[in-house]
Chain A
Amino acid sequence: MRHVSRRAAVVLLLAGLVLAGLLVFLIQYVFQAKSWAAFPGSPHVYRGNNLTAGTVTDRGGELLLRSDESGRSYAADETLRKATLHLLGDRYGYIPSNVLSDHAADMIGFDLVQGLYHSSSGTMQLSLSAAANTTAYQQLAGRHGCVAVYNYRTGEILCLVSAPSYDPDNMPDIEGDSSGQYDGVYVNRPVAGTYTPGSIFKLVTAAAALEQLDDLDTRTFYCGGVTEIGGKPVHCLNVHGSITFREALAKSCNVVFGQLAAELGADTINGYAAALGITQSLSFDGLRTAAGSMQADDSDPWELAWAGIGQSTDLINPVQYMTLMGAIANGGQAALPYLVAEIPGQYQAETTMLPAALSQQTADRLAELMINNVQTVYGSWNFPSVTVGAKSGTAEQDPGRLANATFAGFMQDENYPLAFVAVVEHAGSGSEVCIPIISAVLQVCIQQLAQP
């Protein structure tokens, strides 16, 4: 019998497997149960696509969304509903509410001991200003595009608007619409979109030139309205004549920047685009920015020249480009944006600095040049009592349609360290179209920040 009974220990081996597996599972439970309970579709806290627990407010406590067992109720004001739709999502999941999903675990009142037995509904305070978003949406005035403003020192996003939008309380017939007014309506443009930058990209070429060409400041260029690069003409919007680098950036001279790009070479341009983060994605609060693209090629100097001017196949993402503006204003390094400021008792946003994009020296030089742009070309009167640096762009897209207007820059101010970007599709000149929008939005943002 002893022969057999000794071998009975094999049953204990199986029992040991059970205990080991249970132990591993319990450890996993401790670390992951919260995310399981909060996973999209989790039956006790989701109804369909929507989290059933949670209130979302703007930075001042203004209600943007309340969701509970009976469903979602949005802000009282229609424009505000439209201006925040892409952040909050709609009722049906056409536009997902990634920001809420990402923080669901902090919103549902889960704890490891009680599970969701005492589940409660959290309040999420965004860094966003309802007034700034409403203003931006109104300023876009039915045109497609986006506006974003954030604090490059802390990361707080004050304004993040995507147009076109729709009223989630009164959903239009989007499928049946043929006017084009809802083209790409489900896309959160500043985050998930990429655009041909146009001349705002000259800042990247300028950064490369400032660091790579020693004699840049002593050089004098000549713009005759057109120059030949790689056997083909590169046109400028004006005839600038004899011109310095500083003037060339302010007047956005294509001839000078085309030549500089050709001189710097594709590797340098691509390298700077990568170093400045153009081709990378940023992730925050469940949002992930689309990566831009920069594929300059030495084999075609003409294309290379246009790439340096922000045309060709160049693509940028608005929010990422906004962080680059922040880096220029802030000595080379800016904060990662965030949207969710606080979920009381559960979550508190922290400032995360992005890797330095530029050296302090280059950043300061560029910042000074961009402030010069405003002072000499765009007009300081557009931005009363604050120091603004900016660059405009007019991105040629489809022949026969108006160009995309682009505008990006920053405020260099101790109290109002804001960076901004605006893109208005098929609207014309960057400076003409975008400056009034940005000017109005910045004023609201300043008021918001000035409040205690």
Chain B
Amino acid sequence: MEQLTEILASGDYAAFVGLFTGLTRYLFPLLALLILVRCARSLLAFQTEPELWAYLVSEQARLPVTHWENTIGSAGSCDIQLPDEQAARLHGVLTRYDDGSWTIAPVGSAQIQCNQQPVDRMEELHDGDLLTMGQTDLLFELLTPVEQQAARMQRTRAGRDVSPGLTLLLLTVFQVFTAMQLMMVKESAAALPIAVSFAALCGMMWGLFVLMRLIRRHAFEVETIAFFLSTIGLAVIASDDPSDLSKQVIAIAMGLVVFLFLGWALRDLNRARAVRYLAAAAGVALLAFNLLFGKEINGAKNWIYIGPFSFQPSELVKICFILAGASTMDRLVARRNLWLFIAYTGVCCGCLALMNDFGTALIFFTAFVVIALLRSGSFATIALVCAGTGLAGGLAVSFRPYALRRFASWRHVWDDALDGGYQQTRALMCLASGGLFGLGVGNGWLKYVAASDTDLVFAFVAEEWGLLVAVMMMLFVVLLAAFAARAASVSRSSFYAISACAAMSMLLVGAIFNVFGTVDYLPLTGVTFPFVSNGGSSMISAWGLLAFVKGADTRRGASFAIRDPARHRKGAAA
């Protein structure tokens, strides 16, 4: 304090900036940690209370129906387990639709009778219908609206234990200090763009928060994480090249639009299913268009220029890919279509390989593996596909030897520090120079290295913000992934579970290739870190992928991408 009054009295601006930086170095990791812990408590500590939709009543028991898609059979892995030796291990699928109607469908050669009549392929179910599977009679009993409301209210409301508003307030403090720090350190001409862009980011954040409150959605952790990472990304750009700020803010705004639109689209499962084929076609079309008209930047032909605008179609194809890959249970049990999806993946990855965008191809491939595993559960099929892909990849590399160039200095960058390993060695030097608390936001040197605000952003953040914040940046993504995996178990449809897991794995693999490429554990493939790396297309796609996570979040009053059936029905009745 004495030091501060002394500095203020002397009017030594440089000394004041030094003191301010000295304080924010410790403040930023502390705030980041608080935000991380609050989000983690909320996202990981929630009880996975299932929703309740109906009962199947037998002589022995009253079996709750807790999903929109329920497998019925004697196997332990079924959602509704029948203690009946006559029933098949996987006997039937009970499905609810957006309009509140239900169907029952037998699996394979299993026999189901509905009100004594055999069910051929699928039969609509009504309250009070009697189902017979094996030797078991089951009475289908829908919850009345009153019961439904009562069951709903028994579940924990999202955001009850950890107030999302307070977390957001912490993030706002974080943003204000970040903007102030940057305005002091950067040249005076950059002060206005920095102030405006951070204010815009903060405004969008609170605007979204208020919007969610208005539609009575109380969970905001997933969005908070995205905004936190976006804040760091914006600060990286402010430090590197303030003239890029407006572009990034616009990209965040567009990302929010995509996020809201996609989340809205996901509310209606029939609608989401309907756009699958459209999305699949659009994905291939985008890639084909990219191949034909793409421009080569840094060896990868993955850019499209339309007038003054440029974008990377492959980023948007990620969303199409997930829509194309996700599937509902009735399709899954029939075990169809995986080969079609394999072919689709082959086309997508092939196009990306032709563009030399191997990093993105790997992200698609990982998402494919996750989707295929969730859909089939068959490790054998996936192992076969992986082997085939490895072979194809090997062939591709042997036909395109220059693709190997970027692997040339991999794992020995220090031996080639001035040439092939230049980026990674500078990144590690700067990362180490930053220590745990950084050299101060805006004070880094790595900005002078090519692609430092995209490919090397982990080291960029470590140099300026410190290793603690850089590591927490990773932990935020890990936290989202852990939440998606947990939420998948109570999601309404396998469509949501699969798409959330696939979207998260895309974000995770992006982070893995970005960070571990920077520190030379993996080849540097030019993959972006979600929300942080400078890049409009990747920002938009990251927000889009996040919508799928919201689609799986069935906590009460949590997600705008989940329709509240009780409220919906009331509205319909009125």
* Chain A residues engaging chain B, CB cutoff 8 angstroms: 1-12, 14-15, 17-19, 21-22, 24-26, 28-29, 32-34, 36-37, 39-45, 110-117
Contacts and interface: CB of A to CB of B under 8 A. Distances in A.
B70 A117 contact: no
Given A12-B485, A15-B508, A36-B432, A41 B501 contact: no
B428 A18 contact: no
Given A14-B366, A39-B429, A4 B439 contact: no
Contacts of A116: 433-435, 439
Contacts of B375: 4
A393 to B, nearest CB: 40
A22 B473 CA distance: 11
Interface in B4-38: 25
B332 interface: yes
B364 to A, nearest CB: 14
B433 A21 contact: no
A108 to B, nearest CB: 9
B430 A43 contact: yes
Contacts of B515: 18, 21-22
Contacts of B430: 43-44
B560 to A, nearest CB: 22
B497 A4 contact: yes
B497 A1 contact: yes
Given A11-B370, A15-B481, A111 B433 contact: no
B262 to A, nearest CB: 19
Contacts of A18: 474, 477-478, 481, 508, 511-512, 515
In the A-B complex, the 3 residue pairs with the smallest Cβ-Cβ separation, listed nearest first, are A115-B435, A8-B488, A5-B489
Contacts of A14: 366, 370, 481, 505, 508-509, 512
Given A15-B508, A42-B429, A4 B498 contact: yes
Nearest to B366: A14
B373 interface: yes
Nearest to B479: A15
Contact of A4 (B366, B434, B488): B488
B484 interface: yes
B435 A113 contact: yes
A111 B489 CA distance: 46
Contacts of A114: 435-437
A117 B485 CA distance: 40
Contact of B497 (A8, A22, A115): A8
Interface string B431-447: 11111111110000110
Contacts of A32: 432
A37 B332 contact: no
10 contacts: A1-B67, A3-B78, A11-B485, A11-B505, A40-B417, A44-B429, A114-B435, A114-B436, A115-B435, A117-B439
A48 to B, nearest CB: 12
Given A14-B366, A15-B478, A41 B512 contact: no
A114 B433 CA distance: 8
B69 to A, nearest CB: 6
A4 B430 CA distance: 44
Contacts of A2: 71, 77-79, 489
A43 B78 CA distance: 60
Contact of B431 (A8, A12, A15, A36): A36
B478 A19 contact: yes
B426 interface: yes
A6 B481 contact: no
B359 to A, nearest CB: 16
Interface string B309-343: 00000000000000000000100100000000000
Contacts of B439: 44, 115-117
B132 interface: no
A395 B494 CA distance: 87
A41 B481 contact: no
A208 B481 CA distance: 73
Nearest to B446: A43
Contacts of B274: none
Given A33-B432, A115-B434, A115-B438, A11 B519 contact: no
B74 to A, nearest CB: 14
Nearest to B486: A8
B485 A8 contact: yes
A41 to B, nearest CB: 7
A18 B481 CA distance: 11
A4 B492 CA distance: 11
Q: SS class of chain B's interface: helix, strand, loop or mixed?
A: helix
Nearest to A111: B435
A25 B521 contact: yes
A21 B520 CA distance: 11
Contact of B77 (A3, A17, A28): A3
Given A25-B519, A36-B428, A17 B373 contact: no
Contacts of A12: 481-482, 485
Given A114-B435, A115-B434, A115-B438, A22 B471 contact: yes
B261 interface: no
A115 B425 contact: no
B467 interface: yes
A5 B329 CA distance: 11
A26 B471 contact: yes
A6 B376 CA distance: 12
A361 B57 CA distance: 102
A71 to B, nearest CB: 18
Contacts of B366: 14
Contacts of B79: 1-2
B432 A115 contact: yes
B519 to A, nearest CB: 6
B516 interface: yes
Contacts of A9: 485
Contacts of A21: 512, 515-516, 521
A385 to B, nearest CB: 52
B265 interface: no
Contacts of A8: 374, 484-485, 488-489, 497, 501
B374 to A, nearest CB: 5
B377 interface: yes
Contacts of A1: 67, 69-71, 79, 329, 489, 491, 493-494, 497
Given A116-B433, A116-B439, 20 more contacts: A1-B67, A2-B79, A3-B77, A5-B497, A6-B77, A8-B497, A10-B505, A12-B485, A15-B481, A15-B485, A21-B515, A21-B521, A28-B519, A29-B432, A33-B431, A39-B417, A43-B426, A43-B429, A43-B445, A115-B466
B504 interface: yes
B432 A37 contact: yes
A49 to B, nearest CB: 12
A112 B435 contact: yes
Interface string B54-81: 0000000000000101110000011100
A45 B433 CA distance: 9
B418 interface: yes
Nearest to A14: B508
Contacts of B377: 3, 7
Nearest to A17: B512
Contacts of B488: 4-5, 8, 11
B206 interface: no
B102 interface: no
Contacts of B516: 21, 25
B313 to A, nearest CB: 25
A18 B479 CA distance: 11
A29 B375 CA distance: 40
B46 interface: no
B302 to A, nearest CB: 23
Nearest to B440: A117
Contact of A7 (B374, B466, B509): B374
A208 B440 CA distance: 65
A42 B463 CA distance: 12
A9 B488 CA distance: 9
Contacts of A3: 71, 77-78, 329, 332, 377, 494
Nearest to A40: B417
